[in-house]
Structure 1
């Protein structure tokens, strides 16, 4: 009910109820007077003159009671209006005090009045928005702290290793050409790891800030996929993995930044090698045209991903359970970079996996030409 309507009803009630009660009171008083004083009459002279003090006394009593009825009705209606209108305003003021003190969890019950209800809804929407913003800022601060901690750890580890090997060389531990070569090779590998991490971190930062320029060119997506995969054929063979293809023969024309999409494909193939099972392994690279674009998948028989990690694998620096991944090189930026690059191409990327049963990474990239009938997503 609106406040305007409520005020109108209260005004009508303030008029009707006193009149009705006064009429009822008058009837009762007249009946009582007639019963108590049957011989007393009103004598009217010039004008209206009440000559009997008994009648005067009854009229005074009637006037007092009528006034009490009017005043009581006004007080009750005013108290009702004050309670119904001021109560939600007081609650709103209390909620604002909580908000000013930084407590955004105070829930406001609202009001039955239409105008106040709209005000309360606006305030509640503001509170929820502020609460969401504060929570997002807290999460962002937590992510930044974790980011700094991960960067510090990932840089410190290879630097410590390099320092150890350099000290070994200076102390004469590498006293043979073979040891010297092994030490220097290790130092170079660790330096390459630092360079790769710096490169990934720089790209990740630019992708997050939308400062990466894409040089798109017309490309057969499936042909490019096979070219990149063939570059890793020897790496897969040396790691004991079997490579198979299931790529549709038709062309999949699209626009790609080849350098960046090569990075995506390379990262997914490298992950399949990193997380292979010790005894066996295979990688199936497939591609098909659907009504939504070119669907590409990398399916391996590796260690898989736990269900609790699936929703977080695309987060920057997230590497799952440290006890399982402590011996596997990487900084957890690869999939985060892959997702951003794929999304910047107008595509999608997602993962299906089960711990111990392998992993399937699926990409959907837009094509210049799409099949009218095909498998959906």
Structure 2
């Protein structure tokens, strides 16, 4: 920002120097009027000296000569008249010629003319042109500074603050056509991150309390199991009935511990499933356009055939942003786990439902793995050495369920497909 201000300051300084130097630079040039005025003077002069007395000539057809004055050559002529005759008027240039009748001097003729280039006129024009150019250029630079660079300079600090976990500093709203919506989005992102941070801390606290509570509760059945196991080991039970009873008690206590473990797993899942879905309506074309804009170029760069078959545009019930998230998860998996030959989107209408089928060529998963692909934290054997956490398809299924829809997978002859079902 400071460097840009220096550029503006340097430009203003350069303009001031040029404005000062212009009169000096143009001084020698502007004192060279065009020689055409001499032709007009000679023509008027020739016409006047043929007359017996001075008569004001008609100068309407002349371009340079503005007026002609006469000073008699007489002893009665006053000094004031002579001084006035030779005095410059209206910033015009003049030329004086004698008027002879034979050998007798009658007087003097003064021709007032304007050269083609007037010092003041050309200087004013050049000064005005330079001023307008400088004003426009400086205005553009100031506009860029205040409307683009200054807001961007403020925005550039926000990602750094967010990366440090500082979610409290709010950007002032702006009506700028370039950054107004972007600032609004950054503030919304900041608020969401702050909300999730608070929520995460709260969940973390609840998890710790839950783990402490369950750990305490587990101690009781676990102590009983250890006690019964030790009694059996030391053969303290003298009859089979007592041994069977102890085994049953161990089994009961094991079930208690198993239930506690289920509670832990259930709580962990509920944290993952807390996804907000805003059900409304959106056009299928808007959804497809966004998918194409995001993935067509990506597929082209990886030399993967990306095919979007024809469809009928219609209103779909659901959350468009969440639907994009679902399709994005499936397409990312296709890019990650497919063989890189083809990805295809097909559209169907069945039983008052809109179906979107996404197919990718590649290796199929085994039947046993296929039955678990929508489970949380599950990763198939083809995911080795590939980043991921096994939650993508699990979240997709949960989102579709919240939109009153469905998602199911199918093993194809040369790949896999996922079908999204939207109810009308």
Q: Which has the higher strand share?
A: 2
TM beyond 0.5: no
Of structures 1 and 2, the one scoring higher in RCO (CA 8 A, sep 6+) is 1
What TM-score do you get using the length of structure 2 for normalisation?
A: 0.38
| TM-score when normalising by structure 1 | 0.42
Q: Which has the larger radius of gyration?
A: 2
